Structure 1
Amino acid sequence: MNGTLVVSFHGDDGRHAVFDVSRLPLPGWHRALAAAFAARTGPAGGLRTRAAASTGWGSLVRLMRFLACLPRPPAVPNQLTPEHLMAFHAHRVATAPATGHQDLARARLLFSLPGLREQVAPQVLDHLRQRLPAPRTPQVAQAAGTGSAVSPPTGAGRLTTGFSDGELARLLAALRADAATIRDRIRSGQDLLRRYRADPSALEDRERRLGRMLAQMAATGQVPVPPGARPNPFAPERQQLAGHLFLTLRDLAPLLLLAAALSERNGETVKELPVAHRMLEDRAVELVIVKRRRGARRWFETVTWEIGAPGRELHTPGGFYLLLLELTARSRRLRGSPSPLLWSVWRNGYAAGLGAPDDHCAPFEHSLRGTPILPSAWAADRPRPLLADPPPGTPGRPGEAQPLQVSFNRIKTSMEVRRTKRMGGHLPSAAKSNTMPVLFRNYLSGDPVITTWAEEVLGEAFADAEQAARRAHEHAVQAAGGGPRVLPGPAGAPALEAAGLVPPVARQAADGDLDTGWSACIDHTRHPLTGRPCQVSFLDCFHCGNCLITRTHLPRLLGLLRALAQRRRELPEGQWWQHYGPAWVAIRQDILARFTPAELEQARTGEEHDALLDLVENPWQAP
C-alpha cells in the first residue's frame, strides 16, 4: 500500500514476520529505523529467530512511543539527546524493572547500526557507548522515589536450580512411564489397524468396530464420534479415540521433557527437532539441531546421538528420536502443508477455533510459545503426582510434601550437573552445548547438588591426602630411628637425663646448644638411616630418631604451623600435601598431642613469627 514502510523478516529458524514501521509515531524516524532494524534482523544481524526479532521490535516500539509522548518530542533522529535516553531508562525501570535495562541495551545495539548511526548526534553515541546503568531491583526503584511499589517480575518465585538426585530419579522414571504408555497405546492402535486391513472377519465385534473407525481416521485424519458417545465434537471420547493413532496435545509434556533430559538440550532445541536425519550403521543418528543465542551464523549444530539396543529407546537420545519419528509419522503425512519439524499432533479443530472438526498441526512451526506445555501441571496432575524433597533439616512428613516444580531449565541444569559429576568435575570435558564459562556461571555455580558433591569430593580428597601424608610420615619414622623424642613437662638437664640422654647431651639440649630450626638434634653427625652426617631438610627432622622436642620448642612449632597454613592458601592443595603434609601430620598428631592444653595455651602467648620456612625450601635450587 502507498505510504507503508515494512521490514520483512526471514529467520534462521524458518519462521517469517512483517514489521510495519509506518505504524510507529514520529514519521521523521521511519526510514532510519527501517534501515537499522532491517540490518539488525538481516542475515548478518543478531536477531535471527522470530522470537528474538519480535522482542527487539517490542523494545523499539516502546522507545518510540515514549519519545512521542514527551512535551517536545524529537521529530527526527538528530534531535535526540542523551537526556531523552536517560528519561526513557528511568521510565522503564520504574514501570517494568524486569525489562527496563534490556530495552536500553537493545536501543544501544540498534543505534550502532549504519541506518541510525549517521543521523544521531555524536553525544548520543557517546552516551550509548558508556557502561549501562546497573539494573535496579523493585525495592531500590521504590526507595528511589517512584512513589509506588513495583510487583516482582513474573516467575520470580520459580526454582532455577537443578533437581536433587532423588527428585531427578523420580522425574525420569515418571517421564519414561508416561512415554512408554503413549508408545504402547499408538503401537497397539497401529497393530489393530494392520489386522483389520488384513482380515476384518478374524476380529471380535468390539475390535472390528474400533478397527473400522481407525481405518477411517488413517485415511482422512478425521476422528468420528464413537458409538454411544454424545454427538458432540467436544466429546472426550473423541480425544481418547484419536490417541489410538496420533499424538495429542496432552502427550507433548512428557515427550518433550524426556527428549530434553536424554539429549541434554534446552526446551527450545527440543521443540525444533527436525525430520531430516542420517543413520550411521544403525548405531547412531546424525541430525542438525538449532542452538539459539550463539550469535550470528552460529545457530546450527550437527549432533550424533546413540541409538542403543532394541527396547532401550527410552534411555538413549538417538533411540528416542527415532521413536518420536514413528509416533508422529502418520500425523505428519495427514497435514496439509509439509514442515521440516518433527512434532505433529492431532487437535480438536473446534476447540482450537478453526471451524473444522479436526486438525493435524506442527505445534511449534510458527512460534515456540504457541502451544503451552505446563510441565509443573503435568507433574501435579499425574495419578501419582511428583513431589519435591523436603528442605534440608526438616522431617518431611508426607502431608507437608510440596509439588515438584518442573521446567526445561531445571532439567537442563540437572543434566549439566550430572554430566559434570560423571566427568569428575573436569569442565573442558563436561562442556557440551555451552562454553566452560557459560556452563559454570549459568548451570553449576550455586547449584546445591553440585555444591554438595564438590564438598564431598574435596572432603574425600583431603582425607586421602591426609592419609597419604600419614603413611609417608610413618614410613619415614620407621626408616629414621622411630621418630622424634617428645618430652613434655620440665625441660631442664635433670629431666632430660631422666629421659635417657647422656649428661653432656642433656646439658647441651637444656642450654639450647643443640637447637636446629624448630627442634633440637641430639646427634647431627650420625643420621639413624645413613650413619653419616645429616643432610636432610629441617622439615624432615620430625620423622628422625635424633629429633628432640621439649616445652621450649612449642612457640616455634606453633609459628611453623601458622606459616604452613599461610603456605596452604598460596599453593595448590595437592602440592601442599606433597611438600608439607608429612611434617604437618607429625606436628599435629604426634608432637602437640603429647602436651597438655595448659602447656599449649602458655606457648601461644609466646608464639614466634616463623621466618625459617622460606630458608629451608632452598628456592635458589629450584629449576
Structure 2
Amino acid sequence: MSGDPARAGRGRTAAVPDGFYQQPPTVELPEDGGAPVVRFTGEDGRECVFRFEELPLEGLHRDFAHALGARIGPGGGRRTQRAATSHWQSVKRFFLLLDQLPAPPGCVEELRVRHLQRYLMTRRETCVEKSARKNLQDLLLLMRALPGQGRLDSQVADFVGQRGHGVDAQQAGQPGYSDREFQAIMAAARSDVVAIRDRIAAGEALLQQFMHRPGSLSVADREQGARLEAMARTGRVQVDFRGLAVGEFPAACYEQARQLFVVAEDLTPLLVYAAGLTGRNPETLKELPAEHRLVEDRAVAVTLVKRRRGKANSRTSVHWSVDADPARQLRTAGSFYLLLHRIMARSRGFSATASVWSIWAGNGHGAVHNASTGGHTGPFDAELARKLHLGHWAQEHGLSGDDGAPLQMKLTRIKKTVEARTAKQVGGHLPSARLTNTAETSFAHYLRGDPFITEWAAEVLTDAITDAEQHARAVVLRLGGADAGTVAEDVRQRAAAGELDTLAAACADIEHGPDGGRCRESFLACFGCPNALVLERHLPALLALTDTLREDLQRREAEQWAARHGATWQIITRDILPRFSPAQRAAAIKAKPVLPLGLLDGPKEQA
C-alpha cells in the first residue's frame, strides 16, 4: 500500500504538515552583517535568488532588500519570475549608476530627485521611451515599499508619489504585420514545421523498420537503426564517433538527436506558427500543457494559462478543432497541437515535464544541467524568457518588411496581426472578433493604434459612404404605383438635368396625361400620377412644399385641409421622404426655396 497521503476531495480534508508551519523568509539577513539575500518562488513554481553581494553601495542593501522582498514576496504585486527579475534588474542598474557618481549616496536618506531623473535619462540612452519609463516605474514602486518612508527626503517622497513621470505610463507598442508580411512569416514557419515533422517521421520509420524487419535494411541503416533504438530506450544520444575530430563531436551529437527529438532551433518556427494559428500570446503558448482531452476526435480540449487576468482567472479551457485529414494537419489549431504532442512525446518521457514542449539540449552547458535526463528538458520550465533568436530566423528566410528593410520579428506582433485579421473578417464587430480578451481590451491594446486596422477601417468607411451615396443618388421614385424600372434611360437623364421639372417632381410624359392628351392638372396632382418621377434634386422643393402645407393648415379647418391636401401629405411624408437619408434631407434644407401659399390653388397647367 502506498505511503503517500490521501488526496483531498469532496468530503475529505486536505493533508497538512505536522507541527507548526512557519513560512520561509523571503529576505535573509545574515547575522554576521553580510549582504542580504532575497528568495522568490512564483505562483507557477519557478524560483530565483537575488544576492545583494553582487552590488556596490552596502549602505543601501538592507533597505532595498526589504523593499524587493515586499514587492516579490507572497503579498507583493509581482508573482512571476519574469516580473521579479525585472524588479531586480531595476535595483541593479540603479545601484551601478549611483556608484559611478563622484559622491554616491551612502543611505536612503541621501537619495535625491536628481538621482531618479538621471536614472531615467540613462535608460533612454539604451532603450526606447516605453521601456525607459517602465524601468523607472519599477524603481519607483520599489521605493514606495522602502521601510521607514519618513526617512526619505521630502522632495524624493513627493516625486515617488507623483504620477505621469513613470508610474502607469502608457505608450502604444509596435503594430502588427501587414497581410503580405504575415503571409511570408507563416509560409516560412510552415516550411520549417513540415521539415521538422518529416525529419522525425523518417527517424521513427527507420526505428520501426529496424525493430520489426531488420533484415530488410542495409548494413549502414541497421547500424543507424541500432543507435536510434538505444536512443529511444535510454534517451541518450548514440553517435558513431569513428573518423571524427574532437571538435566535431557536438555537431554530430546534435545531428543524431534531431532524428528522433525536437532540438532548440526547432522551437522558433514551432512557436511562430503556433502564434499565427492560435492568436495566443507568447507566455500562454510557452506554457501549453501536455495534458489534454479529445472530444469525439473533432476537437481537443486544453487548459491554457493567462496570468495577466489575475490569479482567480489565470486558467481557461479552450476547444481547438481537429481535422481528420492528415493533409490538413497544419490548418487547424487542434491538429497542430496534437502534432506538437506527438513529435515531443519521446523527449517528454525522459524530461518528465508537464508541458507539451520538451527538447533535447545535451550539448555544452545543457549536458551538465540535464545530465540526469539524458539531455532532455522542458525549455520553458525554469523560465519563460528563453531566447528564440527570432531575428536570426527571419534573416535566414530572407523575410523583409514592406519598407524593404529586414523584418523585425516579435511573437507579440503576430498576436496583434491575428487580432486585426479576425476583426476584419467579421467586419469589425468586436464581440465576434475577440479571441483571448474582452472586446474593450482587444480594441484598446491591439486594434486602436494598429495602422493596418486604421487603413482598413478608412477604406471600409469610404466604400460604405460611396455605396450609400451612389444608392441614394440612384433612387428614382415613380409615383402613382408605376414601376420606376420601366422609365427609359433618356427620360431619366432629362429628369436628372431638370428639363422635366414641375413643382416638386418631374413629368415623364406631359403630353399624355391620366385623362388623355396634354396634362392640365394641378401641380399637386403629380403626387398621384404614374408619370411623376422624384429624384434627389427635388428634395429642396419637397421640403419647401411640406412647409407650405403646414402653413395652409393654420388657416383652414382640419377636415377641410385633410380633404384638400391629406393624400398629398401622406404621399410626401410616408412614401417619398423616408427613401432619402437624413444627411440628404439635412443638405436639402439649406437649399429649399420658399413657396407662396397661393401656389396650392394654381396654376392648373404647366407653364
TM over 0.5: yes
Is 1:165 the counterpart of 2:153? The answer is: no
* Contact 2:543/2:592 (<8 A) preserved: no
Spell out, residue by residue over 1:86-135, the C-alpha distance to the aligned partner (whole angstroms, 9 max, x if none): 45445554676644433331222223337454653555333222223379
2:472 to 458, 469, 472: 469
Distance 2:174 2:521 in 1: 73
Is 1:41 the counterpart of 2:60? The answer is: no
Distance 1:610 1:5 in 2: 88
Q: Which residue of 2 aligns with 1:246?
A: 261
Q: Which residue of 1 aligns with 2:515?
A: none
* Contact 1:234/1:350 (<8 A) preserved: no
Q: Which residue of 2 aligns with 1:325?
A: 341
Q: Quickly say closer, same or farther: Cα 1:516–1:223, change in 2 above 3 A.
A: closer
Distance 1:576 1:369 in 2: 61
Match runs of 1:294-443 below 5 Å: 294=309, 299-311=314-326, 312-335=328-351, 338-347=352-361, 349-350=363-364, 354=368, 359-370=375-386, 372-382=387-397, 385-386=398-399, 388=401, 404-443=407-446
Q: Quickly say closer, same or farther: Cα 1:107–1:201, change in 2 above 3 A.
A: same
Q: Which residue of 2 aligns with 1:124?
A: 156
Spell out, residue by residue over 1:456-496, the C-alpha distance to the aligned partner (whole angstroms, 9 max, x if none): 3223322443355346553669779999998689x9xxxxx
2:143 to 111, 117, 124: 111
* Contact 1:193/1:214 (<8 A) preserved: yes
1:198 to 212, 222, 229: 212
Distance 1:121 1:251 in 2: 53
Q: Which residue of 1 aligns with 2:42?
A: 11
Q: Which residue of 2 aligns with 1:51?
A: 82
Give the C-alpha shift of residue 215 in structure 1.
0.9
Q: Residue type matched to 2:329 in 1?
A: E
Report the 3-state secondary structure (helix = DSSP H, G, I; strand = E; otherwise coil) of the residue aligned with 1:342.
Answer: coil
Distance 1:407 1:260 in 2: 10
Q: Quickly say closer, same or farther: Cα 1:25–1:418, change in 2 above 3 A.
A: same
Structure 1, unaligned runs of 5 or more: 136-158, 392-400, 492-497, 506-514, 545-574, 589-606, 613-623
* Contact 1:105/1:132 (<8 A) preserved: no
Q: Which residue of 2 aligns with 1:548?
A: none
Aligned length: 510
Give the C-alpha shift of residue 270 in structure 1.
1.8
Give the C-alpha shift of residue 353 in structure 1.
7.2
Q: CA RMSD in A?
A: 4.8
Question: Which deviates further from its counterpart, 187-196 or 323-332?
Answer: 187-196
Report the 3-state secondary structure (helix = DSSP H, G, I; strand = E; otherwise coil) of the residue aligned with 1:234.
Answer: helix
Q: Quickly say closer, same or farther: Cα 1:87–1:412, change in 2 above 3 A.
A: closer
* Contact 1:290/1:299 (<8 A) preserved: yes
* Contact 1:260/1:411 (<8 A) preserved: yes
Q: Which residue of 2 aligns with 1:456?
A: 459
Q: Which residue of 2 aligns with 1:262?
A: 277
Q: Which residue of 2 aligns with 1:569?
A: none
2:237 to 220, 223, 235: 223
Give the C-alpha shift of residue 354 in structure 1.
4.3
Structure 2, unaligned runs of 5 or more: 1-29, 168-172, 503-509, 512-517, 524-539, 554-561, 596-607
Q: Which residue of 2 aligns with 1:290?
A: 305
* Contact 2:136/2:166 (<8 A) preserved: no
Question: Which deviates further from its counterpart, 28-37 or 254-263?
Answer: 28-37
Q: Residue type matched to 2:142 in 1?
A: L
Q: Percent identity between the aligned chains?
A: 35
Give the C-alpha shift of residue 9 in structure 1.
0.4
1:177 to 187, 191, 211: 191
Distance 1:253 1:261 in 2: 12
